[in-house]
Amino acid sequence: MFTITIIGFVRHGVTAWNKEGRAQGSTDVPLDDEGIEMAHGVAQRLSGEQWDVIYTSPLIRAAKTAEIIADSMPDIRLLSDNRLRESGGGLVEGLTEMERVKKWGHSWRQLELGFEPQEEIISRGLNFIEEIKELHPDKRILVVSHGGFIGRLIKELVPYKDLAMDLENTSVTIIKLQEDRNLCELFNCTKHLQRIK
């Protein structure tokens, strides 16, 4: 008998570094006031839906977003998992695109700057997904994480769909994990932010 686990990916609320275009990676940057407001918006939206457990990246911008969501669902467990952290940005963390170009030239992406290897990011992401499928068959799981990490993982889970990598802050993406092929039921949805604006 096949089980289906549904994963709702939520990107954290906005930070000052997001607005400045600074690479965050593993740097622990907090939400700004707007980011907290956005987290309350997505929490209000998700509280009207059925979810069974929340997993979050330990980085504060994701953990705070997850905490606000969990507060709107009194009976839900909130668990932190280091595999959900953002991909490591090495020496570019804290720098804007302009600062990177000034420091290393336009081809800075080709340099060895200490980025976490793509295969390691994918490996820890898929490892987490496999464990979730075993632990929570037929359940609906919220995963609060980061744009770069979620974007890469979705491309692995739904390779046949041409989905953009750039996810909006507090966007909701829902993937149904199935035996034959996974289904993306919702992608990068921010309808809850319309109320805030």
| Tens of pLDDT, residue by residue, the chain (197 residues) | 577 899 999 999 999 999 999 999 999 999 999 999 999 999 999 999 999 999 999 999 999 999 999 999 989 999 999 999 999 999 999 999 999 999 999 999 999 999 999 999 999 999 999 999 999 999 999 999 999 999 999 999 999 888 877 899 999 999 999 888 999 999 999 999 987 65
Is residue 112 among the annotated active site residues? no
- 19-37 burial code (b ≥16 CB/10 A, e <16): eeebbbbebebebbebbbb
In angstroms, rounded to a whole number, what is the distance separating the alpha carbons of residues 187 and 39?
18
Name the catalytic one among 12, 40, 146, 192: 12
Specify the CATH number for the domain of residue 162: 3.40.50.1240
Phi and psi angles of residue 113, each rounded to the nearest 5 degrees, phi first: -115, 15
Phi and psi angles of residue 78, each rounded to the nearest 5 degrees, phi first: -115, 120
Name the catalytic one among 40, 86, 146, 192: 86
pLDDT of residue 196: 63
Q: Which amino acid is at 139?
A: K
pLDDT of residue 1: 59
Is residue 12 among the annotated active site residues? yes
Residue whose entry in the numeric block shows the structure tokens 């919220």: 142
Question: Which residues pair with residue 31 across a beta bridge?
Answer: 15
- Looking at the 3D structure of the chain, how many domains does it have? 1
Residue 62 is part of which domain span? 5-196
